[in-house]
Each structure stands twice: as structure tokens, then as C-alpha cells.
């Protein structure tokens, strides 16, 4: 039986900083060395791009999956490769855990993968399912990245910064105090979770520093929308068992601003992790970065947890103002009842969303949060 013919496809490459095809130092070269008659070029490309061209022909298959990290699957020899999961990415190296053996390999990324055009800041991220080729006892090369699901990402310098991929659950950690609670940041995470089809869980840590009754109105608003809210303290242990039950057997990512106690929470859930923690600055009440890169951590209770660096600003990725209302669970039911089909819910008359706020059926703070995002405050 004949082998299946390989597919050749044209795809975009990153634009590289390479020398132009046309030489611009001909006069200098003539004064220094002179020219031999038989070496003189009789014709020359005046504006040829040469290696700067961004279109190349490669062997592989096109990918139409909306969450694929790249637009193509490269043709590789899978007989000499292993499947694995990226635990963390540090510089140019990715630490990959082999599915069959559990061994961890330090892998470089195949140059062709890094050269393919993509909107993403990094082509390989923690949580990726990859196919890699071992090269030695504990080293290898990542040859292919599988399509992703459950992506947590933000915008960074105009590109998509994927924090983690292939997770089922987003544990949003906020603090009741030190640093102060930021509900609008929680809303941004919720929008990202809705967009990425990830189940969100809201954990408000450090409730031992405030009166728990003061948090009930905020927790009630999120609870009425169907979000799971846990009031907890990693210091006293209150609510830790509830969080442990929620993440048991699942693949979750923990996210929140610096200093809210993400690493402390994980240490309380699984003491064997012994993650490094730090204190909040007394001068500005901002957290100090202790986690520097997203890391996929196996849990003794089953499943994985991803500890991410603290985030002080979370700029939404690929969300335009017209889409914001659809990602707000409490606003979404009123959208179709507005007088105008293109209603922005900010200044129009006969707006069902504004009427719901005036009647007390929609939380005023959530509506203000929506207005900020719709006005372009997506960063």
C-alpha cells in the first residue's frame, strides 16, 4: 500500500531581521578590494525581499481549531517522539513531563515552530500538550503543540499573553485586605473565564482581617449569578477544605493580584508543595512577586493546579466593547429587551439594562464595571 502523500501548504512566518538581498556597500568594496571582471554581477534584484519574505512552504496540515496555538500541524516522525505536558516555561527551555514514564525533560522548541507567525507572545506555555523528541537522558525538542482548550490569557504589548492552557477551572483569588479588595479585577477575570469557557470560582482570602459580614453583599451579588464564592483564610484554615474539595481531581489555575495569598492558599491545600510566600509592602499595600512563572503542579488529592505570577493589571485579550455585555451574566438577560438592537446600555433611552439598575434588579457597581470596559478601559 502506497504511503499517504504529504501535504504542502503555504503559511505565514515571523518577519526576521536579516540582511537585504541587495548589497549597499559596493563602492566601499571597490575601493578596498577592487572587482574582478568575472565576479561582477550582470544583473541584480533591486527590491527583492529574499529571506525577509513571510510566506513559506512547509509540510503539514492546516488547523482550523479556534484555540490552536498555531495555524498548522507540522509533519513529524512520531515513532521517535513522546507525548507530554508542559509543566513550566523558563526562558528558552520548557520543562515537559512525559505521559508514559512521568520523567521530566528540559526541552528546547523546534526552530520552525518558533518561526511560524502567531499573535501569541510565547508559542509554548504551561499546560500545553506537546509531542517532543528526546535527545539524551533529560533533554529534548518540542516538535508539535496540540490544539488548546481552557485558555487564560491577557493582552501584553499588543500580543496575546497566554498564562496557561488546557484548564477546566479558574480559581480567582482576591484578598479582603492587604492588599485591598478589587471587585473590578474580579470582573475582568470573570469575563475572561466566560470567553474561554472555564468554570470560575471566587475565593476571597484573608477574611480574618475584616468583619465577614462586610463581604456578604459582594459575595451575594456573585452568588446570585451562579458563581461559586468561598470566604476563606489561608492563615486560620477557614474555608480551605471547601477549596480543596472544589479543585480535587480537576485541572485548575489560580490567578489574582500580587499579595492576595495564592501561594499561601496552595500550601494550605497541599502542605507538601512548600511554595515560597512573601509579605505585602507596608508602604503601598501592594504584593511582592514571589511566583515568577506559571507552573503546573500535580496535587496529592488528584488533578493539577497552576500557580501564576501576581497580576496588577489585566488587559482583556480579543474582547471588543460590543461583546462585553454578553460576558456579564447579570446584564445578558436584559440585552434583548432594549429598544435599539445596537444599544450600548450607556446613554440610550428605553434601555432595559439601565431600567434594571434604576429598579435595583441589577447591581449598580457591576453596571459601572461594565461601563468602564465598554468605554474602552480594557486595560
Q: Percent of the chain beyond pLDDT 70? A: 76
For 93, which DSSP code? E
For the ranges 24-33, 207-216, 228-237, 241-250, the lowest mean pLDDT is seen at 24-33
Structural domain span for residue 30 = 8-61
Report pLDDT for 301. 86
Report which of residues 198 and 23 the model is more confident about.
Answer: 198
Q: How far is the C-alpha of 252 from the C-alpha of 169, rounded, in Å?
A: 5
Is the model's pTM score more than 0.75?
Answer: yes
Same domain flag for 300 and 359: no
Answer yes or no: is pLDDT of 329 > 50: yes
Q: In this predicted model, which residue has the larger pLDDT, 141 or 212?
A: 141
- Which CATH number goes with the domain that contains 109? 2.40.50.140
* 77 and 170 belong to one structural domain: no
For residue 342, is it within any domain?
yes
| Higher pLDDT among residues 138 and 16, named by residue | 138
pLDDT at residue 70 in the model: 60
pLDDT at 38 over 70: no
pLDDT of residue 110: 86
Answer whether residue 287 shows pLDDT above 60. no
Q: How many domains does the chain have?
A: 4
Is residue 60's pLDDT more than 80? no
**CATH code of residue 250:** 3.40.50.300
Assigned domain for 47 exists: yes
Do residues 328 and 363 touch, judged by C-beta distance below 8 A? no
Note whether residue 153 is domain-resident: no
What is the CATH classification number for the domain harbouring 358? 1.10.40.50
Residue 270 DSSP code: -
Average pLDDT of the chain is 83
Distance CA 37, CA 23 (A): 18
How many CA within 13 A on the CB side of residue 85?
A: 17
Residues 223, 297, single domain; the answer is yes
Nearest-CA neighbor of 117 among 154, 72, 83, 147? 72
Amino acid at each position: 500500500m502506497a504511503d499517504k502523500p504529504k501535504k504542502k501548504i503555504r503559511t505565514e512566518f515571523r518577519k526576521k531581521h536579516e540582511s537585504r538581498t541587495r548589497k549597499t556597500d559596493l563602492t566601499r568594496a571597490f575601493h578596498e578590494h577592487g572587482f574582478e571582471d568575472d565576479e561582477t554581477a550582470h544583473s541584480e534584484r533591486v527590491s527583492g525581499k529574499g529571506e525577509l519574505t513571510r510566506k513559506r512552504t512547509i509540510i503539514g496540515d492546516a488547523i482550523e481549531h479556534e484555540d490552536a496555538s498555531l495555524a498548522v500541524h507540522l509533519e513529524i516522525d512520531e515513532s521517535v517522539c513522546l507525548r507530554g505536558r508542559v509543566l513550566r516555561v523558563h526562558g528558552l527551555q520548557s520543562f515537559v513531563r512525559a505521559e508514559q514514564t512521568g520523567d521530566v525533560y528540559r526541552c528546547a522548541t523546534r526552530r520552525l515552530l518558533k518561526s511560524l507567525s502567531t499573535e501569541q507572545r510565547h508559542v509554548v506555555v504551561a499546560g500545553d500538550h506537546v509531542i517532543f523528541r528526546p535527545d539524551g537522558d533529560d533533554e529534548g525538542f518540542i516538535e508539535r503543540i496540540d490544539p488548546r482548550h481552557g485558555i487564560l490569557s491577557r493582552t501584553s504589548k499588543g500580543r496575546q499573553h497566554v498564562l496557561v492552557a488546557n484548564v477546566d477551572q479558574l480559581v480567582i483569588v482576591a484578598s479582603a485586605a492587604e492588599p485591598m479588595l478589587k471587585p473590578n479585577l474580579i470582573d475582568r477575570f470573570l469575563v475572561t473565564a466566560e470567553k474561554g469557557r472555564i468554570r470560575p470560582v471566587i475565593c476571597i482570602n484573608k477574611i480574618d482581617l475584616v468583619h465577614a459580614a462586610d463581604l456578604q453583599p459582594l459575595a451575594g451579588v456573585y452568588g446570585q449569578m451562579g458563581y461559586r464564592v468561598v470566604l476563606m483564610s489561608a492563615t486560620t484554615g477557614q474555608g480551605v477544605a471547601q477549596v480543596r474539595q472544589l479543585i480535587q481531581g480537576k485541572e485548575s489555575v489560580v490567578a489574582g493580584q500580587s499579595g492576595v495569598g495564592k501561594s499561601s492558599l496552595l500550601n494550605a491545600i497541599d502542605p507538601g508543595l512548600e511554595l515560597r510566600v512573601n509579605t505585602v509592602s507596608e508602604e503601598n499595600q501592594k504584593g511582592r512577586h514571589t511566583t515568577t512563572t506559571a507552573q503546573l503542579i500535580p496535587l496529592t488529592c488528584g488533578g493539577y493546579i497552576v500557580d501564576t505570577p501576581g497580576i496588577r493589571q489585566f488587559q482583556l485579550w480579543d474582547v471588543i466593547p460590543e461583546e462585553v455585555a454578553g460576558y456579564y451574566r447579570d446584564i445578558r438577560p436584559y440585552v434583548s429587551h432594549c429598544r435599539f438592537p445596537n444599544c450600548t446600555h450607556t446613554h440610550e433611552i428605553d434601555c432595559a439594562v439601565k431600567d434594571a439598575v434604576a429598579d435595583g434588579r441589577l447591581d449598580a457597581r457591576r453596571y459601572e464595571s461594565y461601563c468602564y470596559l465598554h468605554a474602552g478601559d480594557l486595560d
